[in-house]
A and B are shown apart, each in its own frame.
Chain A
Amino acid sequence: MKRYFGRKLLIYLLTFFLAVTIDWMIPRFMPGDPVSNMLTRTSVNSNAYEVMYDYYSHVFGLDVPVWQQYLNFWASLFRGDLGISTYLFPTPVTEVLLRAVPYDIALLVPAILVGWYAGNKFGAFAARSKWLDNTISPLGYILTATPYMWLGILLAWFLGIVVGIFPIAGAYSFSLAPSFSWKFIGSVLHHWFLPFVSLLLVEFGGWAIGMRNLIIYELEADYSKYLQSLGATNKLIRNYAFNNAVLPQITGLALKLGVIVAGALVTEVVFSYPGIGYLLLQAIQNQDYFLIQGCFLFIIIGVLLANFIIDILYIIVDPRTRRGMMGEAS
């Protein structure tokens, strides 16, 4: 177990290191120069250009050797300093992002947990049961193939505009100020519901399909046949099959996290929900590079943390990892 954990930790540290390096490298080595880009956009006259250029290079710390820029980048990162947002000037990027993160957590955590649980349950029911399989499986395939934003657009358009029972923008009513009143909390939930459901539905489809297919494999496995020949009840065999099929689904959750987060980003864009996804769109449209880089780092850190939690969960659920038999699979 120690070996398994050590390896995982090493991978995460390496990943984080690599991610920060990418975050530092790309703006510096991509074609085009951010400072001159910025200056051309504000069209300063040619005399002032050089002075301004030097000034901004100094402000952004671009006038020291490359290796020192890299070290400075790490140093400021550990101070929690990710630069100043130009789009929301003069708010620091860290502050902008910390304000957005709660909305992401509120959307993602329930959608992932409920979607995973419900999908697995329904998928297990659907396997080898004629009429459930004929209803849940096609629905699951359609849902999991749906692009997140399209389902969001459909829900927002139909329930928000045509039927008109849900708001389609913001995290709470624009007429309310944040407070701890029932009215405000109700408004928050009202705004949260549609983005949550649209994320949940896509998730549900994927897990249901995955579970259905895994159970079918398990029911065809030798141990199931053996149990059957011993006269075990169907329920018992299915329970064993489920326990075995749930393990790959946990690994699958870790693998799919990136996709789910991407889904949340675009869902937020559809509903103008003020999480990181919505910020990102604003940052891209306003060419706020510090904010883009900050979003990138926050997403990576979030996904790494979630992966780590899933690893711990896996050790709890799968007895083999505890006995140190998983060296190969890490």
Chain B
Amino acid sequence: MKKEKKQNELIYFAFRNVKLIIGLAIILFFLVLAVIGPMLTDNDPFDFVNPLGAQPPSSEYWFGTTFFGQDVFSQFVHGLRATFIVGLFGGGLGTLIGILIGFVAGYRGGIVDEILNVLTNIVLVIPTLAVLLIIAAYLEVRSIFTELIFIGFTAWPWTARAIRAQTFSLRTREFVDLAKLSGMKPLRIIFTEIAPNMMSYLLLVFILQFGGAILIAATLDFIGLGPTNAISLGLMMQFSVIWGAMQLGTWWWFIPPGLAITAIVGALYIMNVGLDEVFNPKLREM
């Protein structure tokens, strides 16, 4: 009864939170575009469909065409798909690894914690991009899948650190002691006693990882180490710069991909603050 009431309260505040609603609306808009967009066009992102080369947006090519006569709209919606895939799964993987390491380090303590802490600190100081760079540079064929694996495996440290600190403060509470006394296994205590108490926190972490993964992927793509067999928003920006879109003034080539990334990541951040306000009564503006 009490739990239900609390849930109702959260839903009530969630629907009243402008930040959350705006953020969610933007994300859903782009998500829908990424899902149905590729069905709206027959042009392959890499096909040279327009013999006239770079042409501004028109009724035939909604977002115009590139220097080579490729359909920008087709590249955009396919790239959007790649962005969501990398964000969801790369960010998801980063969150998962961070959570696992954080839980184990925080709950176990002692030598396990020390070792994991050193590991976390090392990965934390190494600039992620530099490592991704050197690995990606030596891989001849790269796909969106390899990209998201790399990103997931390097983006976890700050999450692990934050979760460890939270676990640390939870594991001395009475209900955890009680669970221990009743003979529960550590793993079960973590997942049935500790994790539910930071569900809201885990959600916030995932949202930040989501946005972070999108930005890292865009950076990698832009520097020439993106997928070799697919299109992405970062690759679109790279091609546009390499082929002089700025000098030629073909703005329709580089505005959409950057705008989409900014909108998606910005919406995620705003959603994050909105959710924080929903979960934390102290932050609600009255």
Contact = CB atoms under 8 A, between A and B. Distances in A.
B128 A258 contact: yes
B131 interface: yes
B133 interface: yes
Interface size class of A (residues with CB under 8 A): 35 or more
A217 B241 CA distance: 42
A147 B261 contact: yes
Nearest to B269: A141
Given A141-B270, A150-B261, A292 B282 contact: no
Contacts of A82: none
A149 B222 contact: yes
B283 interface: yes
Contacts of A213: 273
Contacts of A141: 266, 269-270
B122 A30 contact: no
Contacts of B269: 141, 144-145, 209
Interface stretch (B69-77, B100-108, B179-187, B243-251): B243-251
A15 B122 contact: yes
A304 B270 contact: no
Contacts of A262: 127-129, 216, 219
B135 interface: yes
Interface stretch (A18-26, A114-122, A232-240): A18-26
A289 interface: yes
B222 A269 contact: yes
Contacts of A255: 124, 158
Interface string A277-307: 1001100110001001101100110011001
A277 B127 CA distance: 14
A133 to B, nearest CB: 10
A156 B245 CA distance: 11
A162 B124 CA distance: 41
Nearest to B212: A259
B130 interface: yes
Contacts of A220: 282-283
A14 B122 contact: yes
Given A150-B237, A153-B254, A300-B126, A284 B224 contact: yes
B90 to A, nearest CB: 15
A154 B126 contact: no
A15 B125 contact: yes
Contacts of A30: 135, 138-139
Interface string A159-196: 01110000010000000000000000000000000000
Contact of B219 (A32, A153, A266, A299): A266
Interface in A214-271: 216-217, 220, 255, 257-259, 261-263, 265-266, 269-270
B57 interface: no
The secondary-structure label for the interface of chain A is helix
A266 B258 CA distance: 13
Given A144-B269, A307-B125, A299 B130 contact: yes
Contact of B249 (A23, A161, A265, A304): A161
A207 interface: no
A32 B140 contact: yes
B224 A258 contact: no
Contacts, number: 162
A26 B138 CA distance: 8
Contacts of B121: 11, 15
B223 A11 contact: no
Given A147-B219, A269-B222, A32 B138 contact: yes
A156 B249 CA distance: 11
A97 to B, nearest CB: 13
Contacts of A73: none
A289 B140 CA distance: 13
B82 interface: no
B258 A150 contact: yes
A136 B159 CA distance: 27
A146 interface: yes
B199 interface: no
Given A148-B219, A280-B223, A216 B283 contact: yes
Nearest to A169: B247
B269 to A, nearest CB: 5
Contacts of B237: 147, 149-150, 153
B247 A145 contact: no
A142 interface: yes
B160 interface: no
Given A18-B126, A27-B138, A281 B283 contact: no
Given A30-B138, A142-B266, A145-B262, A284 B223 contact: yes
20 contacts: A10-B118, A15-B125, A145-B266, A147-B222, A147-B261, A149-B237, A149-B258, A150-B257, A150-B261, A258-B129, A263-B219, A289-B137, A292-B133, A292-B134, A296-B130, A296-B134, A300-B130, A303-B125, A303-B126, A303-B130
Interface of B: 118, 121-122, 124-131, 133-135, 137-140, 158, 211, 215-216, 218-219, 222-225, 234, 237, 240-241, 246-247, 249, 251, 254-255, 257-259, 261-266, 268-270, 273, 282-283
Given A220-B282, A257-B127, 17 more contacts: A10-B118, A141-B266, A145-B211, A145-B262, A145-B263, A145-B269, A146-B266, A147-B215, A147-B265, A150-B258, A153-B240, A154-B258, A259-B129, A269-B241, A280-B133, A292-B134, A293-B134
